[in-house]
Amino acid sequence: MTAPSPPGEAGGGRQAEDAVVAAAYAHLLADAQAVLERWPAPDAGQETLRRDYLRHLAAHPDGVARGGPPAHLTASCVVLDGTGEQVLLTLHRKARAWFQFGGHLEEGDATLVAAARREAREESGIGLLEPLPHPVQLDRHVLVGAFGRCREHLDVRYAAVAPEGSWPRVSSESDDVRWWPVGALPDGTRAELVPLVSAARRAVRQVTHVAGARDVAGPA
């Protein structure tokens, strides 16, 4: 018969594990806090989420890792074609629904945007994808289904434009990868994806407009 653990030992073990995870992901915590501190939220709802994310990270230094609390940050990337009229989506194997590319942060990711880049490249098969440097949307959602101890994702969402002539391929994490017209997104996804795709298109147009103005102005 195993002797019972002394009071507080189990909790102490969990705290030690949390500390190890927090130390391994400290660089991502610092980057996430910096990104969220300087991100200009586009509306009141997004500003509320931005503040919620920062409070969560302040309370949970390991909140950028899957091995941290059941509610933790993730990074994702919505991919548009060069016209902005098509969006590349993946049929998620666990959720059985169409989503943008994304997932958990990994210890080897240098930054949030690097995590979004890695996920987008791995899941789309397009090796030259480069997300815009700043998030386009935040989304906090409860998970339903077989996701282990993960219960809630605090997603930081980026946008990228697929290089001309690139061909996507299905990864081991997906059942399909497919281009969809932005005006005809898959059934059951529109409530979530329409605002995200719209935010991505605005961000891409803004960057394109700025770049075009610089080209017209010429070198300083």
Q: Which of 81, 128, 82, 131 is nearest to 102 (CA)?
A: 131
Give the highest mean pLDDT range of 6-15, 68-77, 182-191.
Answer: 68-77
| pLDDT at residue 190 in the model | 84
Checking if the pLDDT of 182 tops 70, the result is yes
Tokens of 171: 């990864």
Q: What is the pTM of this model?
A: 0.87
Per-chain mean pLDDT for the chain: 88
Terminal Cα-to-Cα distance of the chain (whole angstroms) = 79
Please tell me the distance from the alpha carbon of residue 137 to that of residue 46, in angstroms, as a whole number: 7
Query: What number does CATH give the domain 19-217?
Result: 3.90.79.10
Domain spans of the chain, in order of start: 19-217
Please tell me the distance from the alpha carbon of residue 87 to that of residue 71, in angstroms, as a whole number: 28
